[in-house]
Amino acid sequence: MAGDGSATTTAEPPPRHQVLLLRPFPFVSAYEEAFRSKFEPLKPSESNEPLHSFLITHAQSVKALICSAMKPLPAATLRCLPSLELVVTSSAGVDHIDLEECRSRGIVVANAGDSYSVDVADYAVGLLLDVLRKVSAGDRYVRGGLWAVKGNYPLGSKVGARRVGMVGLGSIGSEIAKRMEAFGCHISYNSKNRKPSVSYPYFSSVHELAIDSDVLIVCCALTEETYHLIARDVLLALGKNGVLINVGRGALVDEKELVQCLVRGEIGGAGLDVMEDEPNVPKELYELDNVVLSPHKAVFTNESFSNLHELILGNLEAYFSNKPLLSSVI
């Protein structure tokens, strides 16, 4: 007690767990402070060591890492980290992670959950509106001085009452479907399995879904089974007035076939937030006014990043407290 001559001791703060950040992660300042108060970030990007050497240096101490879809996490990298127990990705998709290696090692994986769902849904609807109502194309027409020279721009198309086929009806797809219902659209869907709680018509075949749709919105996960799911036969089934919107992954669509169908007028238009070989975009698409291109930014809002940061911190805290993860994948 103070004043009785005994020494006053101060409790040492608990040691911080080291967390590997495989690439620079854009924490909002408030969340970075919260992160550093509980975890010690290890950043290869700020080291002079090559990545492999950096991983070897910290091999025994790293139990958790944060990655993103922008950089693959292959088995070779995971094997440099024998003490690794947890992978947290800042993306909803996990196709960039070697999940088989994680399963065989007992490494648990958490993703972004539904942090992005609302914002991606808004963006998907925005792409569709833009394609059908020719917003970006009209903007270019005005800025190019063509309005005064050539007169009125060609008519766009109504959004309401269209048949919208959802390729994937997870958290993002469900949010998109709700928005399209508000436009008076008729919703149907394809997914790996029928969802008993959903009243929308279900198609087990994407080809059959395309035949029945005016618009296909692609928002499913990229797996071996869904690679090039949207192939030429699906695009032709969608038809010359049909519109494709992709806010999932570029490789869900056979991009070469898509380009050919668009150039030949075999489908009506496309709104693409993702490409197969990002950031490279087929140059043929630059000249098409019925195509709206976006640099993989559907998820990026201040609000979605705040949600993501909270989820990442929550997953790390849960794991190191022996509690269930908030957004476990495996």
Could you give the residue numbers annotated as active site? 249, 278, 296
Residue 314 burial (CB < 10 Å; 0-12/13-18/19+)?
Answer: middle
* DSSP 8-state secondary structure symbol assigned to residue 328: B
3-state secondary structure of 236: helix
Measured between alpha carbons, how far is 259 from 253 in angstroms, rounded to an integer? 10
**Alpha-helical segments (H) within the chain:** 29-38, 51-57, 75-78, 99-105, 117-133, 135-143, 146-150, 171-182, 206-211, 232-238, 255-263, 302-320
Distinct helix (H) and strand (E) counts, the chain: 12, 11
DSSP line for 76-104: HHHTT-TT--EEEESSS--TTB-HHHHHH
110 CB contacts (<8 Å, ≥6 apart)? Answer: 86, 87, 88, 89, 315, 325, 326, 327, 328, 329
Measured between alpha carbons, how far is 82 from 254 in angstroms, rounded to an integer? 37
Q: Which strand (E) or helix (H) includes residue 244?
A: strand 243-246
Q: Could you tell me the two tokens for 188? A: 């149907």
Is 157:170 a contact under the CB 8 Å cutoff? no
Residue 104 burial (CB < 10 Å; 0-12/13-18/19+)?
Answer: exposed
Residue 303 burial (CB < 10 Å; 0-12/13-18/19+)?
Answer: exposed
First-to-last alpha carbon distance for the chain, in angstroms, is 50
